[in-house]
A = this chain, B = another copy of it.
Amino acid sequence: MTFDPKDCGTCPIRHRAVCARCEADELDALDGIKFYRSFEAGQSVIWSGDNMDFVASVVTGVASLSQAMEDGRTQMVGLLLPSDFLGRPGREFAAYDVVAVSNLTLCCFRRKPFEQIMLQTPHIGQRLLEMTLDELDAAREWMLILGRKTAREKIASLLTILARREASLALQTAENGTSFELPLTRESMADYLGLTLETVSRQMSAFKREGIVLLEGKRKVTIPDFDALMAETGDDADGGMVA
């Protein structure tokens, strides 16, 4: 099925995005205020403090939210994958720097009318609440990673998270281990984890040396034994994230 921007029925994130619970007439209302925007890998979507007159769903690709300190230190505070929501209803100015980590397509809604529609459409607010609560849980797991884990555990945790997301969004798990395209550069990984890119590189090399991950080229990652990787995250064995 190819994606026809005119028809939400063909949209790849139709049943996971903020519009997931909408009925046909509700989709029509949204359709009237929506437009698509695309960005190439590396491009900036918006800068913190800029006026932001839209909110959006990530349709394809990956975007990062990050905060910068004036001396240049940077911390990624959000990683948006397909179906994730960008922006905050009621907020006029962007709170974070948003960058297209890979090629990116957004389904944008003009903010003011979106807020209006939201008032009349409980389904949207309900879904947004659910998504926001999920993001808050993810942020809290991330805080444990940032505050208490070693560099090695941080890398293992990130790979685990990416592998799981891949598995949930995609295809099937090949028997010979999980395998996916790393959407992040070493620097982005460092910004995600509160490390330097050198430390990220060293730990990746260590995992490669130990056979816990296999690297083809710089970006293709294969995890032959997912449990072995999990054991390095420092988390409970029983995959019991957010119990």
Residues of A within 8 A of B (CB): 48-49, 65, 67, 69-71, 73-75, 77-78, 88, 90, 93-96, 122, 125-126, 128-130, 132-133, 135-137, 139-144, 146-148, 193-194, 234-236, 240, 242-243
Partner of A148, one of B74, B90, B93, B122: B74
A-B contact pairs, 12 of them (CB 8 A): A67-B141, A67-B144, A69-B235, A75-B144, A75-B147, A88-B133, A93-B243, A129-B132, A135-B136, A147-B193, A147-B194, A148-B194
Q: Tell me the nearest residue of chain B to A128, going by C-beta.
A: B129
User: In the complex, which residues of chain B have a beta carbon less than 8 angstroms from the beta carbon of A235?
Assistant: 69
Whole-angstrom CA separation of A240 from B126 in the bound complex = 30
Whole-angstrom CA separation of A130 from B119 in the bound complex = 13
Whole-angstrom CA separation of A243 from B122 in the bound complex = 28
User: In the complex, which residues of chain B have a beta carbon less than 8 angstroms from the beta carbon of A74?
Assistant: 148
User: In the complex, which residues of chain B have a beta carbon less than 8 angstroms from the beta carbon of A240?
Assistant: 49
Partner of A69, one of B73, B78, B144: B144
Whole-angstrom CA separation of A140 from B139 in the bound complex = 7
Q: Tell me the nearest residue of chain B to A96, going by C-beta.
A: B140
User: In the complex, which residues of chain B have a beta carbon less than 8 angstroms from the beta carbon of A194?
Assistant: 146-148
By the criterion CB–CB under 8 Å, are A136 and B143 in contact? no
